[in-house]
Structure 1
Amino acid sequence: MNRLLTLCAGLTLAATGSTAGADTLLRLDARAPAAAPTTGHVQLGTARSPQGHTLAINSQYLLKDGQPWLPVMGEYHFSRAPAAQWAHQLRLMKASGVDVVASYVFWNHHQPHAGAFDWRGNRDLRRFVQLAQAAGLHVVVRLGPWAHGEARYGGIPDWVVDAMPTRSNDAEYLGHVERLYAEIGAQLKGLLWKQGGPVIGVQLENEYNLRGPGRGEAHISTLKALALKAGLDVPLYTVTGWDGTVYPSGAVTPVFGGYPDEPWATSTQELPPKETHAFRFDTRVSGDLGAQTQAHAPGTAETDKDHVPFLGAEYGPGLPAMYRRRTLVSPDDIAAMLPVQLGSGVNLFGYYMFHGGRNPVTAAGTGLEESTLSGGYNDTPRISYDFQAPLGPDGQQRPVLTKLRPFHYFLQTHGAQLATMTVRAPERTPANPADLHTPRWAVRSQGDRGFLFFNNHVRQYPMPTHPAVRFEVQLPGGTVTLPSQPVDLPNGAYFIWPLNLDLDGVPLHYATAQPVTRVDAGDQGIVHVFASTPGVPTEFSVPDGLRHLPPEGGLVGLGSAHGRKVRVLVLPPEQLAQLQVLDLAGKRRLVFSEQQAWVANGQLQLRGPATQPLRASVFPALPHPKAAGLQVRQDMLMQHLELPATRTADPVLQVQATRAAGTAPPVLKGGLAGAAVQPVPEAFATAATWALRLPRTAPARTEDVLLELDFVGDIGRLFAGTRLLDDWYYNGQTWQIGLKQFALKPGATLSLSVLPLRADAPIYIDAAHRPAFAAGQTQVADLRSARLRAVRQGAITP
């Protein structure tokens, strides 16, 4: 950060105005008046809390305490995670810019047999919601009874599926659903919004497009009535809005989603460009999102568009690995969706999944995963529900999270303005998602203020560089043309630029950098943080001229307003990736760290490798930071904190091959999809195996130990004796398992088995990770590396 903050001397000042040249001028007319939001169509539950806080909805956006609200929502399944992790993982989500945590209640996790419900331990919904509230998160509970979620029978217990019709107004089925909802209502008593709690909404069913007697609108109406009978009186009642969904208009609000690939597809090749990377101007409904029932007519969401806001619940920050299709997405595949979806009008950005997990198993050892053996459309791992999520099953920070956080902080700071803005389409738009040559951009504006959204990234498809580009946006008060000089927009570029943004009294005509957040630095003034756009010169247009910054970013003053200085701090990508915005010691602060950072018990918490120092740079500085061994250093702007490493080396894992692979049987096709199906259990007799012996002494001063496995094959399974701890479909992603949750004895020996991957397997694996089979080689099962990584946590009192 030192180099970044000494670049102010390199700033230049130039007159505003455009320069003639051979521009590629991209035009958009945003002068037409926008329709005013309407109210009264959507039926809310009790929307006022005992403290006087309100939650409302109109036809365009959510309102919190009367102000527009554009939150970020992230899915985290409590019953797929150890209860001991919930508290700090929820705080990590909060620190990442998430405002709402959503979770399914999988019915078969709580009532495996007709009889008593189990809400203990990892199934303790009430405690999970209480911890979410303590972390400062709102909660949406996805009630089911059918959830999907890659769960066995969509989460409906076997004993229900075996005995009666489901997903309809069958009297016997509804009797059991009524009891389920009553149990959930009891768990959430006192925790609803109207009671001062965090639960602001519930979702009914999922991906529901079934029509006919006792189905369709009538079934969703019945489920809502049962939820109300169970005491689940909340402001928001939602249903998923894709794949021809059917619901009673006005009784519930649809939520939408999209993924950058389709792991549920049957193709073993790369798919055509997905619409999640193309702006949408006419519909909110994405294509196939993997619903397991087939729609036969357009759904209610299509006809409801002018009555309800564009809310999201399932935009994929990762993807699951299905047996037949094992897509591995890049951080840019995910992050490029955000300017596209926000620029298309999304006013709640909901992720599925934000935090990975693991499936529980029944007492008899039966898996609760979706599989073709139990009539599912997909085969998924028995245990693993990693989902390539930004936070892994054991809280690992994935690289994609560093790409997403700046967008979340942008919404925290500017979401209230953005929520009220109307989507505007440019003069030329791509003919379809496969049109890779027409520039992809949009504007959302209200009056003369707005944001410009641009995307030139499409998964697995190189995009052309758009040369010598300038944008011309016509607003009611005049035309904004930017940048001052034409710029080349390369393959992979995506960004949000502001138009006529008020920076605490300083008018910003435009910037070629993305707004991120704002901090009040006391006598140092107000600092607005922006992210530079790679490959594009950074300039800020203010009334007295242009401010230019070098590619490395820097700090520059824009002026003063109301007696206070207003400055901008521009971060290049490497610094932006380390930025976390935390409320600490009574102030919003910028915390730059390669490690995970969050706030608990009023302290700055850091988590990272035990063999490395825990480091953070803070602005504004903490008043009196204290911790054992803490080193503190102050430079021109930043306060640098460092806690020394607690280990010189990671624990040593002893690895020994114990069984060579046999010849794996051919991969069969079948199931509802008519595609590759997971091998039968007997096939694992051909797996190669290794013994993994843990150290005889438990590593001291560690928060967890991650077992990291890099193998190539078909399916990996990790056992302690005969107990299956975790499993993994090979897709090129490194497999990590946190060992603390299993309470293993020091010196314990684990067993790893790897089923060989056949060269002729009709399975999709990204080309970059599909094994290159040598001539005559028919299969592969290899453990390339296995190691332990110690993780520790440190706390700094401010």
Structure 2
Amino acid sequence: MKTYYLSFILMFFTIILCGQENIYKLDITKGENRSIDSWLKAGGENSDGLRLGVNSLFWTKDGKPWLPIMGEFHFVRYPQKYWEDELLKMKAAGISIVSVYVFWVNHEVTPGNYNWKGNNDLRQFLKLCKKHELFVWLRPGPYINAEAKNGGFPDWINKKGKRSNAPWYLAASKKYYIEVAKQTKGFYFKDGGPIIGFQVDNELAHDTKKTHLTSLLNMAKELGMITPFYSATNNSKHFYEKGDIIPMQGAYPYRGWMEPEPTIDFLYSTDEWGAMKNIGGLPYDGTKFPRGMCELGVGCWQSYNNRFVVPSYDSEGHAQNALGRGINLMGYFMFQGGTQKEGYQGNNHPLNYDFQAPIGEYGQIRDSYKKIKVIHNFITDFGSELATMQPARVIQPIKDPTDVKTLRYVGRFKDEKGFLFLTTTQGWVDMKPQENVQIELKLKGEKLLFPEAPITIKENTSPIFPINLDINGAQLKYATAQLLAKVEGNNGVPNYFFFKLPGVNPEFAFNDNTFKKLTSTAETINKNGRTYIKPVPGMGQTIEIIDNNGKKAIIVVLTREQAEQSWRLHYKGKERLFLSNANLLIDKGHLELFSESNKMNLLTFPAIDNKLNSVRSKNNGVFSEHVFETPETNLDIKINKKSTNNWVFNTPKKLPKHVRNIFAYVDYIGSKAGILENGKNYSDDFFNGTIWDIGLRRFMNNGRSEITIKISEWDDKVKGIPKNKAPKNDTERKGLIREIKFKPEYTISLGK
């Protein structure tokens, strides 16, 4: 009996001690406290009176804090006919700035002869950006890299003395800049155009004299390329203390240029330590500049020898990590994939420039698009507040990316209000869940234990938790659900949308002295001056709260799946939140749904007054739900199997009615696959164990096209392929096409 009691007591104290070990701490009072200094020589006003600015902490729009989202799109690597479609997809994801390289090598065909037509038509691209109210950050080099031939240089420029103040190189660069200036004339922000930024060169790390960027900057300005902001990649050498160029950061979850290795880009690191590890040090005073990124990777290019698949949860975790550590301009590279023109790709690089981007080489909406769009929806409604919040880090930060035992977390706070960022993601590491997690937050006036009862953060997740959030006058001390959006109903009442995190039950803790009425059918507990609500995610339960001044707000908790199906868009004169199992585009009042299913739903908040011609409609919680259906299409595409690794088929002459694209899904094994259009190389794919998806509509511009899929035999130099995906016999080693499936992408258009 004594042994039994002794064991019981030992077990009891073990539980207590384990619980104490998992109470992490974060001292908000010792967070960053950088002063807001408007010393930078930047900013501008357009002809409509819109002002853009920047200070040492954040960018501004009409004098208000602005946290822009930027995405890279290489127009020369995408068919001109579909540029508008892709720009609308980017805008629907929350992108407000399109960054774009201008490829000197693609435009100057022979010395002095420039091609600005077709897929090279920069002016047309800028017209479309302006039409759809997308800003542009121009990146004309002269040197760009971007896995292009000669790093973007024509052959006659790619010689000794390039990227320096050598007279011949500056003279050649000026001739090129003159042509860029001609194409961009009238499209600068000061003239009412979309171009608000200009990146000078790219990764100029070798200029020890720090003079070349200044030469190029002065040249651009003299030629009339005047923008509110000028930038450089932060590994470029320059006298940044002059305040004329803003250094911009870069980070990738997986790195195609090196062997597989866990990076530090999931550790909420400081700029200084991160730069020391990645680029050898920070070449400027980080406290003087806002944190912006021009190369925030969602995916990355693959080399011939190094293959990988970037999981979408790592893409999300990588983006969340940047936001958590204080980034105030989220600039993705790439956001839109593309195809390199044969002969214009860099050495040992494929024609395929898909980049595992959120939008693929053929316009595919990837899972990563949906995951980071969840973060973008949050930024759309809370970015102006978040931009002013500065990081609060742990005293002993994690510096080992392989550490799976310690919780990774950081805060962004201002005036006791803010957000907690946690992650259990890490490229190239098998992450584990963090169990029994609680965080003690030291604020100026209190110590807040978040949450009241321990929670488990599941592996490969990246939650963001609100702390002391203002809900239209009432104080939400914390929530164990993630904030998604804030949208006003037709009655003017703000609705706050949250979503449930994997393995974490939602709990909302309100400060009782900040509201006079709270109504909910969810489980409710009152204690110690707080009201705790535990709603069930979905449409069934809401929280209605009225603050002490009579202001009303409604809280809705969605599922994670619903959050990934959410679209935060402006439609018919109102800001709205849509939920849909389809993808959405909006073009000045025109709403399009598209999906590989011919049955699509659309939930709208607030409700849309006019009828949407749906098959059926109903109210679903605060949403109005509509179901649409279009006739199913049977595709009759015959395949000529010439050999086990060489299949040929003809595209249809035109797309069937209600179909916007046809995708071919190629299940193959081999070191590489190629696609030929009418016998001419078009693109390729480095096998990484996944199905190759190819959009066919671009091959149907001139009627029927003959498409050939060829698979190369296996090469033992290829690394990174999981064992269960590698060849298992001689037939597979010779290159094998197992199957090609064709699927229509349906479209439903809702009138203007």
TM score, norm. by length of structure 1: 0.85
What is aligned with 1:725?
Answer: 682
Matches within 5 A, 1:375-394: 379-381=348-350, 383-394=351-362
Give the deviation of 1:455 after TM superposition.
Answer: 0.7
Work out whether 1:94 is the aligned partner of 2:91. Answer: yes
Where 2:374 maps in the other structure, the secondary structure is helix
Kept in 2, the 8 Å contact 1:430–1:436? The answer is: no
Matches within 5 A, 1:453-468: 453-468=421-436
Give the deviation of 1:284 after TM superposition.
Answer: 6.6
Kept in 1, the 8 Å contact 2:424–2:458? The answer is: yes
Structure 1 unaligned segments of length 5 or more: list them.
Answer: 1-18, 290-294, 362-366, 372-378, 661-687
Matches within 5 A, 1:16-415: 22-23=19-20, 24-32=22-30, 34-44=32-42, 47-161=44-158, 165-212=161-208, 216-242=209-235, 245-246=237-238, 248-249=240-241, 250-265=243-258, 267=259, 270-271=260-261, 273-281=262-270, 283=272, 285-286=274-275, 298=280, 301-361=282-342, 367-371=343-347, 379-381=348-350, 383-415=351-383
With over 3 angstroms needed to count, the CA separation of the structure-2 counterparts of 1:769 and 1:170, relative to structure 1, is farther
What is aligned with 1:706?
Answer: 663
Give the deviation of 1:791 after TM superposition.
Answer: 2.2
Kept in 1, the 8 Å contact 2:402–2:429? The answer is: no
Give the deviation of 1:82 after TM superposition.
Answer: 1.2
Q: Distance in 2 between matches of 1:637 and 1:303?
A: 50
Give the deviation of 1:148 after TM superposition.
Answer: 0.5
What is aligned with 2:712?
Answer: 755
Kept in 2, the 8 Å contact 1:56–1:66? The answer is: yes
With over 3 angstroms needed to count, the CA separation of the structure-2 counterparts of 1:302 and 1:548, relative to structure 1, is farther
Where 2:341 maps in the other structure, the secondary structure is coil
Structure 2 unaligned segments of length 5 or more: list them.
Answer: 1-15, 513-530
Q: Distance in 2 between matches of 1:22 and 1:728?
A: 50
Q: Which residue identity lines up with residue 28 of structure 2 in the other structure?
A: A
Give the deviation of 1:224 after TM superposition.
Answer: 0.1
Kept in 1, the 8 Å contact 2:101–2:138? The answer is: yes
Q: Distance in 2 between matches of 1:750 and 1:511?
A: 53
Which protein has greater RCO, CA pairs closer than 8 Å, 6+ apart?
Answer: 1
Q: After superposition, give the CA deviation of every residue in 1:495-537 in whole Å (9 maximum; x if it has no partner).
A: 1111111122121111111111111003272110112121112
With over 3 angstroms needed to count, the CA separation of the structure-2 counterparts of 1:339 and 1:744, relative to structure 1, is closer
Where 1:335 maps in the other structure, the secondary structure is helix
Kept in 2, the 8 Å contact 1:653–1:786? The answer is: no
Moved more, 690-699 or 558-567: 690-699
With over 3 angstroms needed to count, the CA separation of the structure-2 counterparts of 1:782 and 1:33, relative to structure 1, is closer
2:464 to 470, 480, 496: 496
Give the deviation of 1:718 after TM superposition.
Answer: 1.3
What is aligned with 2:443?
Answer: 475
Work out whether 1:740 is the aligned partner of 2:697. Answer: yes
With over 3 angstroms needed to count, the CA separation of the structure-2 counterparts of 1:640 and 1:490, relative to structure 1, is closer
Moved more, 611-620 or 346-355: 611-620
What is aligned with 1:643?
Answer: 628
With over 3 angstroms needed to count, the CA separation of the structure-2 counterparts of 1:696 and 1:148, relative to structure 1, is closer
Kept in 2, the 8 Å contact 1:728–1:735? The answer is: yes
Q: Which residue identity lines up with residue 388 of structure 1 in the other structure?
A: Q
Kept in 1, the 8 Å contact 2:651–2:699? The answer is: no
Where 2:561 maps in the other structure, the secondary structure is helix
What is aligned with 2:524?
Answer: none
With over 3 angstroms needed to count, the CA separation of the structure-2 counterparts of 1:710 and 1:251, relative to structure 1, is same
Kept in 2, the 8 Å contact 1:634–1:640? The answer is: yes
Q: Which residue identity lines up with residue 35 of structure 1 in the other structure?
A: N
With over 3 angstroms needed to count, the CA separation of the structure-2 counterparts of 1:247 and 1:593, relative to structure 1, is farther
Q: After superposition, give the CA deviation of every residue in 1:161-185 in whole Å (9 maximum; x if it has no partner).
A: 25x6311112112112112212222
With over 3 angstroms needed to count, the CA separation of the structure-2 counterparts of 1:576 and 1:340, relative to structure 1, is same
With over 3 angstroms needed to count, the CA separation of the structure-2 counterparts of 1:697 and 1:47, relative to structure 1, is closer
Kept in 2, the 8 Å contact 1:614–1:644? The answer is: yes
With over 3 angstroms needed to count, the CA separation of the structure-2 counterparts of 1:747 and 1:729, relative to structure 1, is same
Kept in 1, the 8 Å contact 2:301–2:353? The answer is: yes
Give the deviation of 1:768 after TM superposition.
Answer: 6.2
Q: Distance in 1 between matches of 2:578 and 2:276?
A: 39
Give the deviation of 1:256 after TM superposition.
Answer: 0.7
1:791 to 711, 720, 745: 745
Q: Distance in 2 between matches of 1:112 and 1:288?
A: 40
What is aligned with 2:516?
Answer: none
Q: Which residue identity lines up with residue 714 of structure 2 in the other structure?
A: L
Kept in 1, the 8 Å contact 2:600–2:629? The answer is: yes
Q: After superposition, give the CA deviation of every residue in 1:720-760 in whole Å (9 maximum; x if it has no partner).
A: 233112211111232222222233665543222111113xx
With over 3 angstroms needed to count, the CA separation of the structure-2 counterparts of 1:704 and 1:431, relative to structure 1, is closer
Give the deviation of 1:620 after TM superposition.
Answer: 1.2
With over 3 angstroms needed to count, the CA separation of the structure-2 counterparts of 1:696 and 1:311, relative to structure 1, is closer
Cα root mean square deviation, aligned: 2.4
Q: What's the % identity of the aligned pairs?
A: 28
1:656 to 622, 640, 660: 640
Q: Distance in 1 between matches of 2:17 and 2:411?
A: 24
Kept in 2, the 8 Å contact 1:202–1:236? The answer is: yes
Where 1:336 maps in the other structure, the secondary structure is helix
What is aligned with 1:7?
Answer: none
What is aligned with 2:605?
Answer: 619
Kept in 2, the 8 Å contact 1:312–1:350? The answer is: yes
Where 1:410 maps in the other structure, the secondary structure is helix
With over 3 angstroms needed to count, the CA separation of the structure-2 counterparts of 1:554 and 1:117, relative to structure 1, is farther
Q: Distance in 2 between matches of 1:81 and 1:472?
A: 50
What is aligned with 1:765?
Answer: 720
Q: After superposition, give the CA deviation of every residue in 1:42-81 in whole Å (9 maximum; x if it has no partner).
A: 322x511122221111111111111111111111111111
Q: Distance in 2 between matches of 1:504 and 1:551?
A: 22
Work out whether 1:441 is the aligned partner of 2:409. Answer: yes
Q: Which residue identity lines up with residue 81 of structure 1 in the other structure?
A: Y
Give the deviation of 1:314 after TM superposition.
Answer: 0.8
Q: After superposition, give the CA deviation of every residue in 1:163-209 in whole Å (9 maximum; x if it has no partner).
A: x6311112112112112212222222222111122111010111110
Give the deviation of 1:551 after TM superposition.
Answer: 5.3
Q: Distance in 1 between matches of 2:36 and 2:565?
A: 41
Q: Distance in 2 between matches of 1:511 and 1:206?
A: 42
Moved more, 47-56 or 460-469: 460-469
Give the deviation of 1:36 after TM superposition.
Answer: 4.6
Kept in 2, the 8 Å contact 1:428–1:438? The answer is: no
With over 3 angstroms needed to count, the CA separation of the structure-2 counterparts of 1:764 and 1:245, relative to structure 1, is farther
Q: Distance in 2 between matches of 1:754 and 1:642?
A: 42
Q: Which residue identity lines up with residue 162 of structure 2 in the other structure?
A: T
Q: Which residue identity lines up with residue 229 of structure 1 in the other structure?
A: E
Give the deviation of 1:354 after TM superposition.
Answer: 0.5
What is aligned with 2:390?
Answer: 422
What is aligned with 2:584?
Answer: 597
What is aligned with 1:530?
Answer: 498
Where 2:683 maps in the other structure, the secondary structure is strand
Where 2:29 maps in the other structure, the secondary structure is coil
With over 3 angstroms needed to count, the CA separation of the structure-2 counterparts of 1:431 and 1:108, relative to structure 1, is closer
Kept in 2, the 8 Å contact 1:284–1:310? The answer is: no
